[in-house]
Amino acid sequence: MSSVERLEALLGGADGGSRSSTPAEEASSEAVQVIVRVRPLLSHEAGGERLAEEAVEIEDERTVKVVSQDKHKNVRCRYDAVAGPEATQEAIYSRVRSCTLSVLDGYNATIFAYGQTGSGKTHTMFGPPGYHREIGYGQLSVSPMAGIIPRAIHDLFSGAQRDDVEDFQVFVSFVQIYNEALYDMLRDGTRSAPLQIREESSGGGAGGGGGGGGGG
């Protein structure tokens, strides 16, 4: 039994039921998947003098309809999944959890959020502002408001510990692209000096001076 299979048995499946394949097999065999999360209207949007109108309507679990400003043209888009305003942080993470678990078996995985300013990327990836203050080090559970990143970290460390892995290392980097410049947010949270991007001998790109943290 692989480490992912053992972790799934210990932690329980995200949907609480049996699985026909392991998370590693799912993550390694699937193409890039796109999941749309539609956030609710914010308080100033729903209760201001100029009420905002919802431009996105969810038709089913895979389809959204975008309504034009003049109401004369609608565009329907289909994705791998669509989550509405009522979707919990746990439900969102359950859609991508197989990527996290597959890392324990040596696979590479990428999860990223894309959208305009104010669309909810930080909420989805991290959680609401200040929620982390309620979490203590060594806590066995995550906050219901925790986003994808803290939940993924929790799964990685829980998996390594429950798998009786004697030696493991986790490295973290935190960079931000702002106005087409790359910043190391662990060393320079005020974005005072952008990193220099250069090409490595292997042909890949690298940001000079990027910091990181490790644990094991």
24 close to 2: Cβ distance less than 8 angstroms: yes
pLDDT (tens digit, 9 = 90+) per residue, 82-114? 999 999 999 999 999 999 999 988 899 999 999
| Closest C-alpha among 111, 146, 153 to residue 126 | 146
* Residues near 168 by beta carbon (within 8 Å), at least 6 away in sequence: 160, 216
Looking at residue 22, the DSSP 8-state letter turns out to be -
Binding site per annotation, positions for ATP: 115-122
Superfamily of domain 3-168: Kinesin motor domain (3.40.850.10)
Which region among 3-12, 35-44, 48-57 has the lowest average model confidence (pLDDT)? 3-12
- Quick one: pLDDT at residue 119? 93
Q: What is the mean pLDDT of residues 37-61?
A: 82
Q: How many residues does the chain have?
A: 216
- pLDDT tens digits for range 140-168: 578 899 999 999 999 998 888 887 777 88
Would you place residue 2 in the very low, low, confident or very high pLDDT band (cuts 50, 70, 90)?
A: very low
Q: Say if residues 104 and 3 touch (Cβ distance below 8 Å).
A: yes
pLDDT of 139 strictly over 50: yes
The structural domains of the chain, with segments of one domain joined by +, span 3-168, 169-216
Helices (H) and strands (E) in the chain, counts: 6, 11
